[in-house]
Amino acid sequence: MKTAIHIGSMRFYAYHGVLPQEQKAGNYFRVEVTLYTDFSRALTSDSLDDTVNYVDIYQVIADEMAHPSQLLEHVAGRIITALTHQFPSITGGKIIVTKEKPPITGDIRDVSVVVEW
């Protein structure tokens, strides 16, 4: 059995970007994660001790989003490192970090980076 925790559409106001105005004014970002972890015991135990608490996962992501980076790739890497360090039971996953309304000429709603590990 393969089990995962998925948290979608977390939205943050943060200061990630290469351009000085992005670092000063900020922007909205979304993060979505799927984290592979064995919570098969929780399927029958109904105990939080047998899984990874998604409230704690959210807090780790929020903490990392609060630290500015130039690149979305770097933000994703920092989040992966923090999550796998704090929750050793995570064996892999997928993260999508999205910048809403990037400063690009044209009608572009958002840009994202995707990392699977």
pLDDT in tens, 27-63: 999 999 999 999 999 999 999 999 999 999 999 999 9
Q: For the chain, what is the mean pLDDT? A: 97
- Do 37 and 91 touch, CB atoms closer than 8 A? yes
Of the listed 2, 24, 94, 99, which one is catalytic?
99
Q: Shortest CA distance to 72 belongs to which of 21, 117, 15, 33?
A: 15
Q: Hey, what are 82's tokens?
A: 């923090």
Q: Could you identify the residue written with the tokens 């919570």?
A: 39
Predicted structure pTM score? 0.94
The whole-number pLDDT of residue 40 equals 96
99 is catalytic: yes
Phi, psi values for residue 57, rounded to 5°: -60, -50
Angstrom distance (rounded) from CA 40 to CA 50 = 8
* Buried/exposed code over 63-79 (b: 16+ C-beta within 10 A; e: otherwise): ebbeeebeebeebbbbb
